[in-house]
Amino acid sequence: MCIGIPARIISIEGDVLPNAVIDVAGQQRTCCLAYLPEAQVGDYVLIQNGFAMSIVDEQEAQESLRTIAEYKLINYD
């Protein structure tokens, strides 16, 4: 089973196959927006295997990030 990691979209690049630069717990990464073409800069999305899978509200994202940090599920180094 995979866990979806919340991330905030910082920028979006590409037209046919859009990719986003995302902030994941203070680290910048990229992900594919093929499943969420409606996602916009500033949205929080759940990331699984490099793909944005769903849009979530900020409160839900922050609660998930706190829980992930509490259980040390992400290496912040």
All domains of the chain in start order, with CATH:
5-71 (2.30.30.140)
Residue-level pLDDT at 6: 97
Q: pTM score, two decimals?
A: 0.88
The predicted pLDDT at position 72 comes to: 84
Q: Which residue has the higher pLDDT, 68 or 42?
A: 42
pLDDT single digits (tens) 19-43: 999 999 889 999 999 999 999 999 9
Residue showing tokens 């905030």 = 8
Residue 63 confidence class, pLDDT cut points 50, 70, 90: very high
User: Which tokens go with 15?
Assistant: 């037209």
pLDDT in tens, 3-12: 889 999 999 9
DSSP letter (8 states) at residue 4: P
The dihedral built from the CA positions of residue 58, 63, 66 and 67, taken in this order, carries a sign that is negative
3 state SS of 48: strand
Span between the terminal Cα atoms of the chain, in Å? 24
